[in-house]
Chain A
Amino acid sequence: MPSLQSNFLGIQSPNPFWLASAPPTDKKINVLRAFEAGWGGVVWKTLGSQVKNVSSRYSALYNANKRLLGFNNIELISDRPLDINLREIEECIKLFPDRAMIVSLMADNNRESWYELIKKVEDTGAHGFELNFGCPHGMTERGMGAAVGQDPEIARMVVEWVMEKATIPVITKLTPNVHSVVPTGQAVVEAGTHGLSLINTIQSITGVDLDTFVPNPYVAGKSVYGGYCGPAVKPIALKMLTSIAQNPVTNKVPISGIGGVSTWKDAVEFMLLGASNVQVCTAAMNHGFRIVEDMIEGMTNWMEEKGFEKLEDFIGKSVSTITHWEDLDINFHHIARINQDKCIHCGLCYIACEDTSHQSINIVKGDPYNTYTIKEEECVGCNLCQIVCPVNDCITMVEHRVAPEYLNWIEFQRRGLPLNDH
Chain B
Amino acid sequence: MPIQKNRLKPNEYDANFQDIHPPFETKDAALVEANRCLYCYDAPCTKSCPTGIDVPKFIRQITTGNIKGSAHTILASNIMGAGCSRVCPVEKLCEGACVYNLMEEDPIPIAKLQRYSTEMALEKNWKLFDRKPAVGKKVAVIGAGPAGLSCAHRLSREGVDVTIFEKEQLGGGLMTYGIAAYKVTPGFCKDEVDYILSIGGINVKYGVALGRDVQLDELKKEFDAVYLAFGVGLARRLDIPGEELEGVVDAISFIYDIRDKGFDKVPVGDKVAVIGMGMTAIDAATQARRLGAAEVTILYRRTKDEMPCTQKELDIAMLDGCKVIWLAAPKEVIGRDGKVISLVADVMILGEPDASGRRAPVATGDTFSLDVDMVIKAAGQMPFVDLVKNAGLDEQGGKVRVKDQAITNISNVFAGGDCVNGGKEVVDAVQAGKDGAMQILRFLGMPIE
Cβ B32 vs Cβ A65 within 8 A: yes
B385 within 8 A of A: no
CA of A348 to CA of B48 in the docked complex: distance in angstroms? 18
How many of B's residues come within 8 Å of A, CB to CB? 20
**Distance, CA A157 to CA B102, complexed state (A):** 64
Checking A344, A350, A363, A365 against B99 with a beta-carbon cut-off of 8 angstroms, the contacting residue is A344
Given the contacts A65-B32, A65-B35, A368-B97, A351 and B41 also touching, CB distance less than 8 Å? yes
Alpha-carbon gap, A274 to B402, bound state (A): 75
A390 at interface, CB cutoff 8 A? yes
A391 at the interface (CB under 8 A from B): yes
Q: Which applies to chain B's interface (DSSP): helix, strand, loop or mixed?
A: helix
Residues of A within 8 A of B45 (CB): 368
Given contacts A350-B41, A351-B41, contact A344 B102 (CB under 8 A): yes
A370 CB–B CB distance under 8 Å: yes
Query: Is A380 in contact with chain B by the CB < 8 A criterion?
Result: no
Which residues in A have their C-beta under 8 angstroms from that of B43? 346-347
Asked if residues B103 and A344 are in contact (CB atoms below 8 Å), the reply is yes
Q: Is the CB of A348 within 8 A of B97?
A: no
Residues of B near A344 (CB, < 8 A) are: 99-100, 102-103
Question: In the complex, A367 Cα to B40 Cα: how many Å?
Answer: 14
The answer to whether B99 touches A346 (Cβ under 8 A) is yes
User: B44, A348: Cβ atoms under 8 Å?
Assistant: no
CA–CA, A122 and B271, complex, Å: 90
Apart from A344-B99, A347-B43, list 11 A-B contacts with CB within 8 A: A64-B63, A344-B100, A344-B102, A346-B40, A346-B43, A346-B99, A347-B40, A347-B42, A365-B42, A368-B44, A368-B47
Closest chain A CB from B36 CB (angstroms):
9
Q: Which of A65, A351, A363, A369 contacts B44 (CB 8 A)?
A: A369
Question: With A348-B41, A351-B41 as given contacts, are A368 and B48 in contact (CB-CB < 8 Å)?
Answer: yes
Please list 20 pairs of residues, one from A and one from B, whose beta carbons are closer than 8 Å in the complex, sorted by A's number.
A64-B31, A64-B35, A66-B28, A344-B99, A344-B103, A345-B40, A345-B44, A345-B99, A345-B102, A346-B40, A346-B41, A347-B43, A348-B38, A351-B41, A365-B42, A368-B45, A368-B47, A369-B44, A370-B42, A391-B103
The yes or no answer to B39 lying at the interface (CB within 8 A) is: yes
The CA of A167 and the CA of B173, in the complex, are separated in Å by 88
Task: Give B401-436 as 1s and 0s: 1 = Cβ < 8 Å from A's Cβ atoms.
Answer: 000000000000000000000000000000000000
Q: What is the minimal beta-carbon distance from A211 to any residue of chain B, in angstroms?
A: 12
Contact with B along A343-377 (1 / 0, CB 8 A): 01111101100000000000101011110000000
Q: In the bound complex, how far is the Cα of B28 from the Cα of A221, in angstroms? A: 28
Which residues of B are at the interface with A, using a C-beta cutoff of 8 A? 28, 31-32, 35, 38-45, 47-48, 63, 97, 99-100, 102-103
Q: For residue B39, which residue of chain A has the nearest CB?
A: A348
Which residues on A sit within 8 Å (CB–CB) of B41?
Answer: 346-348, 350-351
Which chain A residues border B32 with CB–CB below 8 Å? 65
B121 to chain A, nearest CB (A): 21
Determine whether the beta carbon of B47 is less than 8 Å from that of A390: no
Complex: how many Å from CA A262 to CA B35? 23
A65 closest partner in B (C-beta): B35
Q: A88 to B79, alpha carbons, bound, how many Å?
A: 67
Q: Which residues of B contact A351 (CB under 8 A)?
A: 41
Give residues of chain A (380-396) contacting chain B, Cβ–Cβ below 8 Å.
Answer: 390-391
**Least distance between B250 CB and chain A CB atoms (Å):** 36
Indicate if the CB atoms of B47 and A367 lie closer than 8 Å. yes
A311 to chain B, nearest CB (A): 38
Q: Give the most central of A344, A351, A390, A391: most B CB within 10 Å.
A: A344
B-side contacts of A390, CB under 8 Å? 38
CB contacts (< 8 Å) of A363 on chain B: these are 42
Please give, as numbers and ranges, the residues of chain B lying within 8 Å of A368 by CB-CB distance. 44-45, 47-48, 97
**Min CB distance, A361 to chain B, in Å?**
10
CA distance A391 to B99 in the complex (A): 11
Residues of A contacting B39 in the complex (Cβ-Cβ under 8 angstroms): 348
CB-defined contacts of A64 to chain B, threshold 8 Å? 31, 35, 63
Which interface class (under 10, 10 to 19, 20 to 34, 35 or more) fits A?
Answer: 10 to 19
Tell me the bound Cα distance from A365 to B44 in angstroms: 11
Task: Find the A residue at minimum CB distance from B64.
Answer: A64
Q: Please, which residues of chain B bring their CB within 8 A of the CB of A65?
A: 31-32, 35
- CB contacts (< 8 Å) of B48 on chain A: these are 368
In the bound assembly, the distance between CA atoms of A34 and B47 in angstroms comes to 54
Cβ contacts A264-305/B at 8 Å (1 or 0 each): 000000000000000000000000000000000000000000
Residues of A within 8 A of B44 (CB): 345, 368-369
Known A64-B63, A65-B32; contact A348-B103, beta-carbon cutoff 8 A: no
Query: Closest approach, in angstroms, between the C-beta of B361 and any C-beta of chain A?
Result: 30
Contacts of B99 in A (CB 8 A): 344-346
Residue of A nearest to B32 (CB): A65
Q: How far is the CA of A368 from the CA of B44 in the complex (A)?
A: 5
Determine the distance from Cα of A351 to Cα of B97 in the docked complex, in whole angstroms.
Answer: 19
Smallest Cβ distance from B94 to chain A, in angstroms? 9
B109 shortest CB reach to chain A, Å = 16
Across the A-B interface, give the 5 residue pairs with the lowest CB-CB distance, nearest first: A347-B41, A368-B44, A351-B41, A344-B99, A368-B47
B28 smallest CB distance to A (angstroms): 8
Query: Whole-angstrom distance between the alpha carbons of A368 and B43 in the complex?
Result: 8
| CA A391 to CA B43, docked complex, whole Å | 16
* Complex: A396 Cα to B347 Cα, angstroms: 56
Which chain A residues numbered 297 to 346 have a C-beta less than 8 Å away from chain B? 344-346
Q: How far is the CA of A421 from the CA of B48 in the complex (A)?
A: 42
The CA-CA distance from A390 to B41 in the complex, in Å, is 13
Minimum C-beta distance from B116 to chain A (A): 16
Q: Which of A146-169 contact B (CB under 8 A)?
A: none
* Chain A nearest Cβ from B327, distance in angstroms: 32
CB distance from B371 to the nearest CB of A (A): 46
Of B40, B100, B103, most buried by chain A (CB within 10 Å of CB) is B40
In the complex, residue of chain B having the shortest beta-carbon distance to the beta carbon of A350: B41
Verify A346–B38 contact, CB threshold 8 A: yes
By CB atoms of chain A within 10 A, which of B35, B42, B47, B100 has the most? Answer: B42
Q: Give Cα distance in the complex from A370 to B42, angstroms.
A: 8
Q: Which residues of B contact A391 (CB under 8 A)?
A: 103
Distance of B202 from chain A, by nearest CB (Å): 34
Distance between Cα atoms of A11 and B45 in the complex (Å):
59
Q: Given the complex, which residues of A lie within 8 Å of B63, measured CB to CB?
A: 64
Q: Determine the residue in chain B with the shortest Cβ distance to A349.
A: B41
- B43 to chain A: closest residue by CB: A347
Q: How far is the CB of A342 from chain B (nearest CB, A)?
A: 9
Q: How far is the CA of A365 from the CA of B97 in the complex (A)?
A: 15
* Complex alpha-carbon distance, A365 and B45, angstroms: 14
CB of B265, distance to nearest CB on chain A (Å)? 44
Measured CA separation A390–B31 after assembly (Å):
19
Q: How many Å lie between the Cα of A348 and that of B41 in the bound state?
A: 6
CB distance from B69 to the nearest CB of A (A): 15
Residues on the A chain within 8 Å of B42, using CB = 347, 363, 365, 370
